[in-house]
Amino acid sequence: MKSTSNYLRCEGRELHYMAWGDPAAEPVIAWHGLARTGRDMDELAAHLSQSGRYHVICPDTIGRGLSQWSPDPDAEYCLPFYVKLATSLVDQLGLPSFHWVGTSMGGAIGLLAAATTLRQRIRRLVLNDIGPELAEPAVQRIRSYAGNPAAFDTVSELEQYFRQIYAPYGWISDTQWRRLTESSVRRLPDGRVTPHYDPAMVRQFFVHPDDYKRWTEWDSLSLPVLCLRGETSDLLLPETAEQMRVRGPRAVVVTIPGCGHAPALNAPAHFSVVERFLEGG
């Protein structure tokens, strides 16, 4: 399925995004996780767009991938600013309404946006292993590697590192591991390679320690919500997912077997549950 690489200036910062399928089709925003890029959504976007029904837009968050790094990290690496970027993006793209699929941080952005500036415009919300509350040990785990990214002499070594730290994503083919690596690598001045993001983005957890505590916003929602939870996720605990099922918008909760945080959204079983939900099933 045809995709294009695009750039837009949002809130004074340049954002990169991939767009899949027919621009006249029903729009879906697919937003990646904390230390990742929009290319993580390639498989899902290709699948959703191939029928011609959906036009899928996959941004790189500021400080990740090909988007600009923030010159003011303490003010801009946080959910409220990410929501501003998202609002500017969909406004400039002329999207009055759309679906939102978000993995981890991308889901948190969607949750906050649906409760604030994009209320009524997000028609259906898919949260991939994220909720209004995070398990603190998992946050500490993510901070430990995201804030101090590893560097290697070769891309092959970086791929092995990714295979280790992202093992909880579940099954990923060799071809997908290679693309995940090559689409999220940058070379340092000393010639080594490292993940393609600004390490300062982890300051979100220090400067905005309550950024992911969003029960008030959750309880204000009334749109349809699908919550995908990795079977062994250490970030979205079963009791939190259960609260999401009975509170606020009363999410449909689906457990994805064989993975933790977060399901890679790269397999037919993942595609089908997302697609059924977007179609109203």
Enter the pTM of the model: 0.97
The mean pLDDT value for 167-185 works out to 97
Q: Tell me the C-alpha distance between 79 and 95, whole Å.
A: 21
pLDDT digits (tens, 9 = 90+) for 125-157: 999 999 999 999 988 888 887 888 999 999 999
Virtual torsion, Cα 170, 172, 176, 182, nearest 10 deg: 50
- Place 1 in a pLDDT band, splitting at 50, 70 and 90: low
Check residue 146 and give its pLDDT: 82
Q: Whole-number mean pLDDT of the chain?
A: 97
The mean pLDDT value for 263-281 works out to 95
- Chain length of the chain: 281
pLDDT digits (tens, 9 = 90+) for 209-240: 999 999 999 999 999 999 999 999 999 999 99
pLDDT digits (tens, 9 = 90+) for 182-203: 999 999 999 999 999 999 999 9
251 closest CA partner among 134, 139, 128: 128
Check residue 281 and give its pLDDT: 66
User: Distance from first CA to last CA of the chain, Å, rounded?
Assistant: 25
Over the chain, what HEC string results?
A: CCEEEEEEEECCEEEEEEEECCCCCEEEEEECCCCCCHHHHHHHHHHHHHCCCEEEEEECCCCECCCCCCCCHHHHCCHHHHHHHHHHHHHHCCCCCEEEEEECHHHHHHHHHHHCCCCCCEEEEEEECCCCCCCHHHHHHHHHHHCCCCCECCHHHHHHHHHHHCHHHCCCCHHHHHHHHHCCEEECCCCCEEECECHHHHHHHHHCCCCCCCHHHHHHCCCCEEEEEECCCCCCCHHHHHHHHHCCCCCEEEEECCCCCCCCCCCHHHHHHHHHHHCCC
